[in-house]
Structure 1
Amino acid sequence: MSVILLPESVRAKLGDAADDFIKLLNEVADARTEQQRITEFKLSQATDLAKEFTGVRKEIADVRVEIKETKSEIIKWMFIFWIGQLVAIFGFLKFFGK
């Protein structure tokens, strides 16, 4: 809670309205403080969310690298399988072709 005090000279000029004026100023100051807390909270949430997105993007990049490596491994083993099949077919043809 904010505390705002008025000098005696101002208090004398305002008369009975001085207390109401001080109350109003304190309410405005409290509202600003609450708004600042809300803004800071939202900013911290946005910062946390940005960190999360950065982490997710890094994970996606890692998965893409893994997929590329896996694709190259699959293609390599497919060629090895095909070559083995061709060797087996030619072997059978040669063996049974006589």
Structure 2
Amino acid sequence: MTTSATGTGPTDNSMRRALKRARDGVALDVTEAAVLLQARGEALTDLAASAARVRDAGLEAAGRPGVITYSKSVFIPLTRLCRDKCHYCTFVT
């Protein structure tokens, strides 16, 4: 991750690039994900909107537009072996 001049976070350029890739629905690499963990203010708002669009596109593709489910039980995925396509967690590709 490229840091800003103050050395305390990502550069504006790396944040813009990571946000654009998230906005475009492109799979992010580890560095881009680390940059987005530092998102604040407008960048965080942009990231949340992009995440919502990706989620909604996944629901649309699954034939369930606008249907979001949840479980009252605690859900802790321990493997990447899930075969369900519910889009509840991030393990479905």
TM-score where L is the length of structure 1: 0.26
Determine which structure has greater relative contact order: mean sequence separation of CA pairs < 8 Å that are 6+ residues apart, divided by chain length.
Answer: 1
Structure number with the higher helix fraction is 1
TM-score where L is the length of structure 2: 0.27
